[in-house]
Amino acid sequence: MSYQSLAKEIVQLAGGEQNIVSVVHCATRLRFTLKDHSQADKKSLKNLDGILSVVENGGQFQVVIGSHVSEVYKDVIKIANVGGSAARESSEKSKGNVIAKIFEVIAGSFSPILGALAGAGMLKALLALLTMTGLLSDKGGTFFILSAAGNAIFYFLPIFLGITVATKLGANPYVGGTIGAALLEPNFTSLLQNTGDSTHFLGIPIVLMNYSSTVFPVFIAVSIYAVLDRFLRKIIHKDLQMFLVPMLSLLIIVPLTTIAFGPFGVYFGNSIGTFINFLYSESGTLTGALMGGAYTFLTLLGIHNGLAPFILENVAHGGDPLLALVSAGVFAQIGVALGIFLKTKDKKEKALAASTLLPGLLSGVTEPILYGLILRYKRTIPYVAIAGVIGGGVSGLAGAKASTLALPSALSIPIYSPLMAYVISILAALAIATILTVIFGYEDKKRIEVKETKVESGQPLVKQDSIVSPLTGVIKVLADVDDPVFASESMGKGIAIEPTVGQAVSPVNGIVTTIFPTGHAIGITSDQGAEILIHIGINTVQLGGKYYSPVVKQGDRVSQGDLLVNFDIEKIKEAGYPVTTPVIITNTDRYIDILDMNKEAVQAKEELLTLVV
């Protein structure tokens, strides 16, 4: 499926190609580095079909999309000329906190390879499970071939990081990868036979190190290379740069890495690992409680990927406690989703909770839970924190560690030891979050009290706004819409209509706050403050505006029943797109309830929804 039109709108709302320095993606987010964040239209991006949220943190402008982020990313980089000289120019002119810049480089360098790291980690977990149960021998060719697939990215990590760090800093990524590869070249690695072996370079003594699976040596080396690259390009004639800049860079950086940057990076990584293990040994329970409770908030801020280098350094030296501790936060989030699923009697909310459970349990991707449930029902935030603290504390008390990097999920359980202690910790986090959600509820307490008080006293709930139907057609519930964003009510509550007439009218008196260039979606804010999104068709953004003829523009004032857009139902269907039209109240949290008229069909301008306060 092509996401070209969606990508085009994202680029435009991020300030345009000229404002984008670089972009990478992780499991659920596009991570932009922008020249000027004020040029990005954050509000319109949040309201864009398929966007769950927008987060600014660590110098990055993060657009949370979901599981199809990699497909959107492919079209974004085709549309926007990102990286290369633009990245170099930004790194020269960028301003801000040095620590924030360092973190941005670390997070941005790991984001492109996190999928491969997580996939390889899951493969290693599967191998551990197969050998543990006796289904696969650890002596046969099958095991060694699959082990090679699981181990490769970890062993050759300096090469991959050399490429991604250089890309992030605007230098030649292949020279960066070559610097990492030099540390693993067989002639060089064969010099190290025993711990403490040394050699020399032009008479300068070199302490030999094992650089496989290391992180910090290549980070330091390629960061210095990026500075050298910019300097060499200023002093070398452009006709000679193609071969002379890479040659001089390798000639200078590789020896300096083996002499200084490499050993320092190894010692630095070991020191951090020693410090983490010191905290863990002094008070594993306290360390676990802090990490388990904090991980949800690190994920919300989009800075959880910053833990990756420390996890990998610990894995390379025998086992990592951090991943075991933060797993409690992941399973606490899953517990909230399970609690809402069990608690709610609303079919739509039950469907939403169920749709977020599977990605969390099987892949460790919890952004749909965070943005679709926890941020929507903020009352659950303390439940996640409490469950994460307790689960992390149990894991820390037991001294649980991970043998490789894999996203915390039900499938990655075999990589942890002691196994039973880890299982107890994540089950504790999941159970506590589930029980708290079921017992104390998840909706805002004041809204529940107002609603219950009015019902018990016989007072009518106040109808604040009447939303008429923008279309003539057949009514469907959102849960039946073939789009997880709308079906899960991540965008808000509402209803869907299968139109039979190709005209959409205004459902309220108000202002047209958003009209997408493609004409397929219109946002209106009523005079009473209701924010309504009319999205004509599913995935129709990909039509690029064909078969849509808007008659209003952003900022226009409209009255209830005024024509907004004409569209050709048959042509849209012939192009392979459903015309099912969600009508969403995007500021749902403002209302106690949103009631539909329990109709099977509706005419344009007939009453469709009632908003209750």
**Among 26, 200, 304, 520, which one carries the catalytic annotation?**
26
Rg over CA atoms, the chain: 27
In terms of Cβ atoms closer than 10 Å to its own Cβ (0-12, 13-18, 19+), residue 282 is: exposed
Instruction: Say which residues have a Cβ less than 8 Å from residue 185's Cβ, sequence separation at least 6.
Output: none
Separation of alpha carbons 518 and 533, rounded Å: 15
Q: How many residues does the chain have?
A: 613
Angle, helix 114-132 to helix 141-155, in steps of 10 degrees:
150
The tokens of 224 are what?
Answer: 């210095």
Other Cβ atoms closer than 10 A to 294: 18
Other Cβ atoms closer than 10 A to 347: 10
**Among 25, 304, 520, 535, which one carries the catalytic annotation?**
535
Separation of alpha carbons 50 and 484, rounded Å: 9
Furthest CA-CA distance within the chain: 93
237 is catalytic: no
Separation of alpha carbons 349 and 437, rounded Å: 14
Closest by alpha carbon to 1, among 545, 540, 534?
A: 540
The tokens of 475 are what?
Answer: 């009514």
200 is catalytic: no
Q: Would you say 453 and 592 are in contact if contact means Cβ atoms under 8 Å apart?
A: no
Separation of alpha carbons 514 and 525, rounded Å: 9
E strand map for 126-285: 198-201, 204-207
Sign, CA torsion 404/120/423/332: positive
Sequence-distant contacts of 509-513: CB under 8 A, at least 24 apart: 509/558, 509/559, 509/560, 510/557, 510/558, 511/555, 511/556, 511/557, 511/558, 512/552, 512/553, 512/554, 512/555, 512/556, 512/557, 512/558, 512/564, 513/554
Q: Which residues pair with 601 in a beta bridge?
A: 474
Separation of alpha carbons 451 and 593, rounded Å: 9
Taking the chain, what is the end-to-end CA distance rounded to the nearest angstrom?
A: 41
The residue behind tokens 């709610």 is 344
Q: Which residues pair with 474 in a beta bridge?
A: 498, 601
Quote the DSSP letter at residue 16.
Answer: -
* Omega cis (within 30) before 418: yes
Burial annotation 310-334 (CB, 10 A radius, 16+ → b, else e): bbbbbbbeebbbbbbbbbbbbbbbb
Q: Active-site positions? A: 26, 535
